[in-house]
Amino acid sequence: MVDISIISQTEFVRIWSSSLSRENRLSLVADMCRVNALSSIKKAGSGHLGSSLSSIDIVTMLYYSELKGISHEKNNPDRDIYFSSKGHDVPGYYAVLYSLGLLPKDQFILLRRIKGTCGHPDIGTPCVEANSGSLGMGISKAKGMAFAKRYNNKKGRIFVMLGDGELQEGQNYEALLTAVNQKLSNIIVIIDHNKVQTDKQVCDVSDLGDLELKFQTFGWHTARCNGHNFTDFEGVLRSFDKIIDKPKVIIADTIKGKGISFMEHPAALQAGEGLYRWHSGAPDDTSYQSALSELRQKINNQLAIFGLDSLKLETIAPECKPSASISEEYISDAYGKALLEIARKRKDIIVLDADLAADCHIRTFEQILPSQFIENGIAEQDMVSMAGGLALQGLLPIVHSFAAFLSSRANEQIYNNCCEKTKIIYACHYAGLLPAGPGQSHQSIRDISLFGAMPNMEILQPCNAEETKEIVNYCINQTKNNCMIRLVIGPSPRVINLPSDYSLSKGSGTVINEGSDAIIFAYGPVMLHESLIAAELLAKKDLSLKVVNMPWLNVVNQSWLQSVIGEIKNIFILEDHVLFGGLFDTLMYHLIKIPAFYGRNVELLGIIGLPAWGRPWEVLQYHGLNGNSIADKILTKSDGNNEDT
Amino acid sequence: MVDISIISQTEFVRIWSSSLSRENRLSLVADMCRVNALSSIKKAGSGHLGSSLSSIDIVTMLYYSELKGISHEKNNPDRDIYFSSKGHDVPGYYAVLYSLGLLPKDQFILLRRIKGTCGHPDIGTPCVEANSGSLGMGISKAKGMAFAKRYNNKKGRIFVMLGDGELQEGQNYEALLTAVNQKLSNIIVIIDHNKVQTDKQVCDVSDLGDLELKFQTFGWHTARCNGHNFTDFEGVLRSFDKIIDKPKVIIADTIKGKGISFMEHPAALQAGEGLYRWHSGAPDDTSYQSALSELRQKINNQLAIFGLDSLKLETIAPECKPSASISEEYISDAYGKALLEIARKRKDIIVLDADLAADCHIRTFEQILPSQFIENGIAEQDMVSMAGGLALQGLLPIVHSFAAFLSSRANEQIYNNCCEKTKIIYACHYAGLLPAGPGQSHQSIRDISLFGAMPNMEILQPCNAEETKEIVNYCINQTKNNCMIRLVIGPSPRVINLPSDYSLSKGSGTVINEGSDAIIFAYGPVMLHESLIAAELLAKKDLSLKVVNMPWLNVVNQSWLQSVIGEIKNIFILEDHVLFGGLFDTLMYHLIKIPAFYGRNVELLGIIGLPAWGRPWEVLQYHGLNGNSIADKILTKSDGNNEDT
Interval B354-397: pLDDT, tens = 999 999 999 999 999 999 999 999 999 999 999 999 999 999 99
Q: Which domains does chain B have, with CATH numbers?
A: 5-315 (3.40.50.970), 331-486 (3.40.50.970), 510-640 (3.40.50.920)
Least confident of A162-176, A583-597, B511-525, B617-631: A583-597
Provide the β-strand partners of residue B486.
B428
Of all residues in chain B, the percent with pLDDT exceeding 70 is: 98
What spatial distance separates the first Cα and last Cα of chain A, rounded to whole Å? 49
Average pLDDT in the B430-458 region? 97
Least confident of A55-64, A585-594, B30-39: A585-594
How are the residues of chain A apportioned to helix, strand and coil, as percentages rounded to the nearest 5? Answer: 40, 15, 40
Residue A412's CB is within 10 A of a number of other CB atoms, namely: 28
A449 to chain B, any CB pair closer than 8 A? The answer is: yes
Split at pLDDT 50, 70, 90, the class of B73 is confident
Average pLDDT of B477-488? Answer: 98
Q: How far apart are CA A592 and CA B597, in angstroms?
A: 11
- Please check whether residue B277 is in contact with residue B268, taking contact to mean a CB–CB distance below 8 angstroms: yes
Residue A173 CA to its chain's centroid (Å): 23
Shortest alpha-carbon distance between residue B231 and chain A (Å): 30
Specify whether the CB–CB gap between A378 and A362 falls below 8 A. Answer: no
Q: Going by C-beta distance under 8 Å and a sequence separation of 6 or more, which residues neighbour residue A530?
A: A522, A574, A620, A625, A626, A627, A630
The answer, yes or no, to whether residue B53 has pLDDT greater than 90, is yes
Contact with chain A for residue B75, Cβ under 8 A:
no
Amino acid B156: pLDDT: 95
Torsional class of B78: left (φ above 0), alpha (ψ -120 to 50), beta (otherwise):
alpha
For B257-272, how does the pLDDT look when each residue is reduced to its tens digit (9 = 90+)?
Answer: 999 999 999 999 999 9
- CB contacts, 8 Å: B605 with chain A: none
A346 touches B: beta carbon within 8 Å? no
Q: Which residues contact B461 (CB under 8 A, 6 or more apart)?
A: B431, B485, B486, B487, B488, B523, B524, B551, B553
Q: What is the pLDDT of residue A641?
A: 40
B283 prior amide bond cis, ω within 30: no
Is A595 within 8 Å of B642 when comparing Cβ atoms?
yes
Q: What is the pLDDT of residue B645?
A: 34
pLDDT band at A639 (very low <50, low <70, confident <90, very high): low
What's the one-letter identity of residue B639?
A: D
pLDDT range class, residue A322, cuts 50, 70, 90: low
Best of A86, A152, A176, A412 to disrupt the B interface (most B CBs within 10 Å) is A412
Q: What are A418-472's pLDDT values in tens digits? A: 999 999 999 999 999 999 999 999 999 999 999 999 999 999 999 999 999 999 9
Q: Is A477 on the interface with B (CB under 8 A)?
A: no
pLDDT of residue A640: 47
CA B350 to chain centre: 25
| Mean pLDDT score, A290-295 | 98
Q: Which residue of B has its CA nearest to A457?
A: B609
Q: What is the pLDDT of residue A299?
A: 98
Which residue, among B215, B412, B481, would best test binding to A if mutated, counting the most A CBs under 10 Å from its CB? B412
| Distance, C-alpha B568 to centroid of its chain | 39
CB contact under 8 A, A123 and B421: yes
Are B174 and A170 inside 8 Å of each other by CB?
Answer: yes
* pLDDT for residue B644 is more than 50: no
Question: With 0-12 CB in 10 A as exposed, 13-18 as middle and 19+ as buried, what is B567?
Answer: exposed
User: For the residues B155-166, what does the mean pLDDT come to?
Assistant: 97
Interface contact B130-A420, CB threshold 8 A: yes
Residue A470 and residue A415 in contact, taking contact as beta carbons nearer than 8 Å: no
Among A62, A74, A199, smallest CA distance to A130 is for A74
| pLDDT per position as a tens digit, A538-570 | 999 999 999 999 999 999 999 999 999 999 999
What residue in A sits closest to B77 (Cα-Cα)? A393
Neighbour tally for A240: CB within 10 Å: 17
Instruction: Please name the member of A170, A440, A452 whose beta carbon is closest to the beta carbon of B580.
Output: A452
- pLDDT tens-digit profile of A479-518? 999 999 999 999 999 999 999 999 999 999 999 999 999 9
Could you tell me which of A609, A517, A612 has the C-alpha nearest to residue A572? A517
How distant is the Cα of A133 from the closest Cα of chain B, in angstroms? 9
Which chain A residues are Cβ-neighbours of B642 within 8 angstroms? 592-593, 595
Average model confidence (pLDDT) for chain B? 96
Please tell me whether the overall predicted TM-score, pTM, comes out greater than 0.90 for this model: yes
Q: What is the pLDDT of residues B375-386, one digit of tens each?
A: 999 999 999 999
Q: Which of B146, B148, B385 has the CB atom closest to A140's CB atom?
A: B385
Which residue in A159, A382, A418, A591 has the most chain B C-beta atoms within 10 A of its own C-beta, making it the best mutation to test that interface?
Answer: A382
Res A642: pLDDT:
38
ipTM exceeds 0.85: yes
pLDDT one-digit tens code per residue, B222-238: 999 999 999 999 999 99
Among chain B residues, the shortest Cα distance to A145 is held by B389
Q: Do A580 and B453 touch (CB under 8 A)?
A: yes
**A 540-579: CB under 8 A from B:** 554, 558, 577-579
Does B70 have pLDDT greater than 70?
Answer: no
CA distance B638 to A426: 40
Contact A455 B387 (CB under 8 A): no
Residues 411-430 of B with CB under 8 A from A: 411-413, 415-416, 418-421
Indicate which of A75, A141, A423 best probes the interface with B, i.e. most B CBs within 10 Å of its own CB.
A141
- pLDDT at residue A79 in the model: 95
pLDDT band at A74 (very low <50, low <70, confident <90, very high): confident
Q: Which of A206, A397, A453 sits opposite B580 (nearest CB)?
A: A453
A579/B592 CB distance under 8 A: no
Backbone φ, ψ for residue B486 (5° rounding): -100, 120
Nearest to A168 among B177, B219, B445 (CB): B177
Dihedral, CA atoms, B578, B580, B586, B592, nearest 10 degrees?
A: 120
Q: Does B393 sit within 8 Å of A148, measured CB to CB? A: yes
Give residues 160 to 219 of B whose Cβ lies within 8 Å of A: 168-175, 177-178, 180-182, 206-210, 213-214, 217-219
Indicate the average pLDDT of chain A: 96
Q: What is the pLDDT of residues B584-612, one digit of tens each?
A: 999 999 998 888 777 789 999 999 999 99
